[in-house]
Amino acid sequence: MPTVEELGERRIIELFLERFRRTSEMAVPFGDDVAAITLNKETVAVLKTDVLVGTTDIPPTMTLRQAARKAVVMNISDFAAKGVKPRAVLVAVTIPRDYTTKEIEEIGEGLNAGAEEYDTYIIGGDTGEGVDLTICCMVFGVAKREALILRSGARRGDILAVTGLFGKTSAGLKILMEGHVTPPDIRDILVKSVYQPKARLREGLALAKTGVVTSSIDSSDGLAICLHELKKNSGIGLDVTNVPIALEARKFAEIHGLDPEALALYGGEEYELVLTFKPEGWRNAVKAVEEVGGDLIAIGNVVEGTEVTQRKGNVVEPIPLRGWEHFKKHV
Amino acid sequence: MPTVEELGERRIIELFLERFRRTSEMAVPFGDDVAAITLNKETVAVLKTDVLVGTTDIPPTMTLRQAARKAVVMNISDFAAKGVKPRAVLVAVTIPRDYTTKEIEEIGEGLNAGAEEYDTYIIGGDTGEGVDLTICCMVFGVAKREALILRSGARRGDILAVTGLFGKTSAGLKILMEGHVTPPDIRDILVKSVYQPKARLREGLALAKTGVVTSSIDSSDGLAICLHELKKNSGIGLDVTNVPIALEARKFAEIHGLDPEALALYGGEEYELVLTFKPEGWRNAVKAVEEVGGDLIAIGNVVEGTEVTQRKGNVVEPIPLRGWEHFKKHV
């Protein structure tokens, strides 16, 4: 019988979902960035949970404060993708027996820092003894049903865009986990993207107000996987005209003889938003994001078909469904 | 520097809370059975999370289906104590690498069974690889602010009551963990209380409607600890006139030369409700619980002072703050 390592996260989730009965009050289908349930005709409660596991998700050199902050930020990022303001956070932590007061304090500070940065609060939780540190956050918010941006709304002719450049986190993880020696100025930026990820909440909230976003996803599973998710959920094709590669990732790739596009496409743990826009609303969208101090970078188009492709001059190549999946190794 | 084992769960929670900034929108103080946040003037969103950890919380003979079901039920029990209907459940599971399809299926079935029994639904979640199995559930509901039953409302002269008899789970755990040999008819009932705990949701919802409950707590930390919590939060004393001991726990104690009152008072993982009532509403409360097929058992009175005591004839003895606390051994 296959083990979880062979099954992979997607199949495990399917096995669960096959066993869960459904309610008609679900306002967002399974598999989107958040869950939601009907409060009344116009309003839905939005809920999200994501768990950070010590041994598998926290690089050895990351501090507990950084890890705890990240556990909050990665949940906020899903709210950013849906354009929903987080109203409250709950936290369940399992703590190894040998942790001391200092380590508990660091975790507490990190959790609060993550919440405070995004103008929200931790209002409850649970602690238990664990073999490993796990930090499970849950975020709650309220949204107008009509305003929720799902993964399923992209239409042919829409513009495909992202809120930032990619590849820094992949490079940073290579430095931390595989020991790639890199000049300090670049190294600091790359490593910081691992230690101090930011959720694009201001951007997501500003974009939700414009009404011109047709679909959205947070990029934590890696850019290529997210493009495939948008494609699948919206039933369209995506054609990428320029892969958004961060300058530092490009330099890192050059130094180590790596493919910069691969760093940008097949990474993970990067918290940008990947979105599609009605073409006539594009300028409004750019303006809205700039007003909150962010960037919106067009990277391609929504096209007919069922493929995710990359255009290089006259050549069109497929972007494979590849990246980080829990339980499986990088494939 | 003290480790978590020396600190205990209560101190760990304090260390966290000292670091969390507060919002004026919190509708329930930290430390009650659930968290809540203001939706509008009359209504609050109610949230709860509780995590079940494989190595420390699941007896070796418990099936994964039972464990997963229990992970849901123990969260529902807190909603029962507050008289709030659970509307949706989210689940984050960390799964060891060597689990197979069969084990994933069992967990999925157990989660769904727990939700379905209490007329609610799993609407989302997360999975990750873990060194240990952890099942973290989060429950969401909506309540009228006025109708929420807190731990803080008990007043002198109120009647103290419970929804069932205690001690079965302590005895059952002794059978499972310490190998106490017990006749099969009693054994089955005791062990079942560990494997198949029930939340008193029907009772809690029926009681909330009566408007005569002044305070309430779920008994998962053990009866004595819960009495002390009600005492502390309400700023009153509690005088227990009869400790509610289950018949099977009494028999088990007799066979093994144990103190039946200790089994009932200092256990844990038992999901009854412990409540206080305005005396003039008592008959209504009993009727409401009987109508949904439950029992309400008066066990004492709310008195002046700051003690939890037990009355035996003319002798009044203190009931110490003792029971199960995570991270610490049974003390």
Cα–Cα distance, A61 to B223 (Å, whole number): 43
Give B163-179 pLDDT, tens digit per residue: 999 999 999 999 999 99
Full set of structural domains in chain B with CATH:
4-147 (3.30.1330.10), 159-318 (3.90.650.10)
Judge whether B124 is closer than 8 Å to chain A, CB to CB: yes
**pLDDT on residue A331:** 31
Assigned token pair, B147: 């109708």
Note whether B126 contacts A35, CB cutoff 8 Å. no
* Backbone phi and psi for residue B251, each to the nearest 5 degrees, phi listed first: -65, -45
Please state the ipTM of this predicted complex. Answer: 0.94
B17 contacts in chain A (CB < 8 Å): 108
A266 in helix, strand or coil?
A: coil
pLDDT value for B261: 96
Quick: pLDDT tens for A201-259.
Answer: 999 999 999 999 999 999 999 999 999 999 999 999 999 999 999 999 999 999 999 99
The overall longest dimension of chain B from CA atoms, in Å, is: 61
* A261 close to A243: Cβ distance less than 8 angstroms: yes
Angle made by CA atoms B242, B244, B249, in degrees to the nearest 5:
130
In the sheet that holds B308-312, the strands lie side by side as B213-218, B273-277, B159-162, B297-303, B237-240, B308-312, B315-318
Residue B78 burial (10 A CB sphere; 0-12, 13-18, 19+): buried
CA pair distance B50, A83, nearest whole angstrom: 28
Residue B31 scores a pLDDT above 70: yes
Contacts of B127 (CB under 8 A, 6+ apart): A9, A12, A13, A16, A326, B92, B93, B94, B95
For residue B105, the chain A residues in CB contact (below 8 A) are 15, 19
Classify residue A156 by its DSSP letter. T
Contact of B297 with B161, CB cutoff 8 Å: yes
- The predicted pLDDT at position B209 comes to 96
B113 touches A at CB < 8 Å: no
Chain B residues within 8 A of A119 when measuring between CB atoms = none
- The H or E element spanning position B258 is none
pLDDT at B107: 98
Is A127 in CB contact (< 8 Å) with chain B? yes
Yes or no, beta carbons of A100 and B3 under 8 Å apart: yes
Q: Which residues contact A313 (CB under 8 A, 6 or more apart)?
A: none
| Cβ–Cβ under 8 Å, residues A127 and B326 | yes
Which of A34, A47, A101 is facing B1, going by the closest CB pair?
A: A101
- Which 3 state secondary structure label does DSSP give A155? coil
Task: Note the pLDDT of residue B329.
Answer: 45
Q: Does B8 lie at the interface with A, CB-CB under 8 angstroms?
A: no
Mean pLDDT of chain B: 95
Task: Please check whether residue A329 touches B, CB under 8 A.
Answer: no
For A305, which DSSP code?
S
> A236 with A154: CB under 8 angstroms?
yes
Of B39, B116, B326, the CB nearest to A21: B116
Q: 3-state class of A309 per DSSP?
A: strand
User: Who among A4, A34, A97 is closest to B3 (CB)?
Assistant: A97
Q: From A330, A151, A147, select the one nearest A238 (Cα to Cα).
A: A151
Measured between CA atoms, the residue of chain A closest to residue B34 is A124
Residue B136 with chain A: CB contacts under 8 Å: 49, 51, 92, 126, 134, 136
A92 touches chain B (CB under 8 A): yes
At B26, is the secondary structure helix, strand, or coil? strand
**What is the C-alpha to C-alpha distance for residues B153 and B140, in angstroms, rounded to an integer?**
23
A327: left (phi over 0), alpha (psi -120 to 50) or beta: left
Query: Which of B21, B45, B116 is nearest residue A45 as measured by Cβ atoms?
Result: B45
pLDDT, one tens digit for every residue, chain A (331 residues): 888 888 888 899 999 999 999 998 999 999 999 999 999 999 999 999 999 999 989 999 999 999 999 999 999 999 999 999 999 999 999 999 999 999 999 999 999 999 999 999 999 999 999 999 999 999 999 999 999 999 999 999 999 999 999 999 999 999 999 999 999 999 999 999 999 999 999 999 999 999 999 999 999 999 999 999 999 999 999 999 999 999 999 999 999 999 999 999 999 999 999 999 999 999 999 999 999 999 999 999 999 999 999 999 899 999 999 986 555 543 3
- Three-class secondary structure of residue A23 per DSSP: coil
Mutate to test the interface with B, among A32, A53, A123, A221 (most CBs of B within 10 A): A123
Tokens at residue A285, please? 């969208």
* All residues at 6 or more sequence positions from B304 whose CB lies less than 8 Å from its CB, including other chains: B156, B236, B237
Q: Is A111 in contact with B56 (Cβ distance < 8 A)?
A: no
B132 touches chain A (CB under 8 A): yes
**Closest CA in chain B for residue A112:** B20
Q: Is the pLDDT of residue B327 over 80?
A: no
Contacts of B67 (CB under 8 A, 6+ apart): B52, B54, B57, B58, B107, B110, B133, B135
Are A128 and B54 within 8 A, CB to CB? no
| Angle separating helix axes A168-178 and A247-256, nearest 10 degrees | 40
* Contact call for B90 and A51, based on CB within 8 A: no
Structure confidence at residue B287 (pLDDT): 98
Q: Would you tell me how many other CB atoms lie within 10 Å of the CB of residue A125? A: 27
Mean pLDDT computed over B46-74: 96
The Cα-based distances of B209 to A134, B284, B289 in angstroms read: 38, 10, 11
